[in-house]
Amino acid sequence: MSKIVLYSHQDIAGENIAKFLKVDNIEIFGIDEKVINLNDLPSEIYNMAGAKIDLIIVASRHKSESKMPTLCVHSPGNFNDAKLGGNEKSLSIAPALYIRKAILEFKKEKEKNLNLVNYDVTLEVTHHGPTLNLPVMFVEVGSSEEQWNNLNACEVAGNVIKDLYGTNLNKKNTTIAIGIGGNHYAGKFTKILLNEEIAFGHIMPKYNFNGEMIEQMISKTIPKPEIALIDWNGLNSEQRNKTIKKLNEINLGKV
């Protein structure tokens, strides 16, 4: 399986995470532009990584107004407009098993590291670019410059990326799901992931709901989703009705 790690030289956290990865035998590439602005991978990356890339892991910062210390994971894509890079109404491929693995490893790292006691480990919903036709996931440290420069937190993110890079995952007894509803920080879905054998690909929040994108959430999650989990109270009645109608049309199980 061919994997690469990508980061931006414009990203403080990405640069710091990369410091802990360059000592290992990892295909890691730094680019001058923001990763979210990519329309395609630079040709030199394709040339060096080979014709087939099975997984892109982006080492990245996470930014929020709350400045809450956060270790988070998500795949990119846009359910509606593309104000933060990528293409509108277009998703990258979400590698559900690797997203799950990253959250589990972040949790383990946090539990054994007292310096991370105040950090929240969470899934984020699908958002921003790039929208590449490849499996892409972001492993992030947030949510302010203080955390981006916290080498302890960045080393932990590096450890998680090393684990993802060095592991080939298969489905076994894990149920693959998409998530619909809730807020930007997918706390309910994170709790389910941590307590059940369930892996999430794309997650669509209430604030960015688009019922017509549900089919693309399914087609661009790997392995193929078997169920959709709905945060019932995290949608309004119109959104719930549209969700149920669409899932019935495509005959996907719903919980």
Digit-coded pLDDT (tens) for 4-29: 999 999 999 999 999 999 877 899 99
Share of the chain above pLDDT 70, in %: 97
- Mean pLDDT, the chain, whole residue set: 94
Residue 49 has pLDDT above 90, yes or no: no
Place of tokens 């947030």: 142
Residue 48 confidence (pLDDT): 72
Whether the bond between 143 and the residue before it is cis, its omega within 30 degrees of 0, is yes
- The per-residue pLDDT for range 144-175, each reduced to its tens digit, is 999 999 999 999 999 999 999 999 999 899 99
- By three-state DSSP, how is residue 40 classified? coil
pLDDT digits (tens, 9 = 90+) for 127-150: 999 999 999 999 999 999 999 999
CATH superfamily of 175-254: AF0625-like (3.40.50.10700)
Count the helices and strands in the chain (H runs, E runs): 8, 14
pLDDT band at 254; cut points 50, 70, 90 = low
Measure the CA–CA gap between 79 and 225, rounded to whole angstroms: 18
H or E, element range at 195 = helix 187-195
Give 42's pLDDT tier (boundaries 50, 70, 90).
confident
| Block residue for tokens 């969470």 | 122
Residue 89 has pLDDT above 90, yes or no: yes
Q: Does domain 3-165 have CATH number 3.90.1170.50?
A: no
- Residue ranges of the chain assigned to CATH 3.40.630.50: 3-165
Can you read off the two tokens belonging to residue 154?
A: 């960045």
The count of C-alpha atoms lying within 13 angstroms of the C-alpha of 93, restricted to the half-sphere facing its C-beta, is 15
